Amino acid sequence: NMPAPSGGVFGTAGRAELFANVEIMTRFAASLSDDRETGQQNLLLADTKAPALKLKPTAPWDELTKLQAEQKAIGFYLTAHPLDSYKSLLERVGVISVNALEGNQGPAIVKLAGIPVSYKERTAKSGSKYAFASLTDADGVFEVMIFSEVLGVARDLLQGNAPVVCQVG
């Protein structure tokens, strides 16, 4: 986990609180910038070094929400991967990482787990539906193709952001 900002006008606000207050902080920064450019000072703040910024209180994010926001903001999971908390369970049921697929001499059918990143549905010439989904595990991104027999059950899972276990072969 990344530490919360300390000191300054933000105090010890966490990510959720900072995210929920972006508009307030932007207006506050613009006001300070305008005052600086015009040479004006807020008479109520004249005796302090840094003006206080009042953030509206917000409940902290759970770990999954924090990681999803991180992935959305920078394009990958930086501090941890959502599957990390399931590692021992995934190993017990025989799930391997995407890196373990390289040179895999094991069974033709393997289990992979990942967090959905993208989903594209297509229609075959026969009229049946199929889809491609990209998922990410702690080692990288992989793509799976889902045929019509499984698609009806898997569609909602692959369009969500919860961990998914796939049997592929």
d(CA 44, CA 75): 42
At 44 the pLDDT is 53
At 78 the pLDDT is 76
Low-confidence ranges of the chain (pLDDT < 50): 1-11
d(CA 98, CA 135): 10
Q: Which amino acid is at 83?
A: L
Output the DSSP codes for 40-73: ---GGGTTSSS----PPP-PPPPHHHHHHHHHHH
At 120 the pLDDT is 94
Q: What share of the chain is helix, strand, coil (3-state, %, to 5)?
A: 40, 20, 40
d(CA 42, CA 36): 10
Cβ pair 118, 106 in contact under 8 A = no
Torsion over CA: 83, 87, 89, 90 (sign): positive
Query: Around Cβ 153, how many Cβ atoms within 10 Å?
Result: 9
At 149 the pLDDT is 87
d(CA 68, CA 160): 11
Dihedral class, residue 103 (left if φ above 0, else alpha if ψ from -120 to 50, else beta): left
d(CA 46, CA 55): 21
pTM: 0.59
The model's pLDDT over 126-139, given as tens digits with 9 standing for 90+, comes to: 999 999 999 888 88
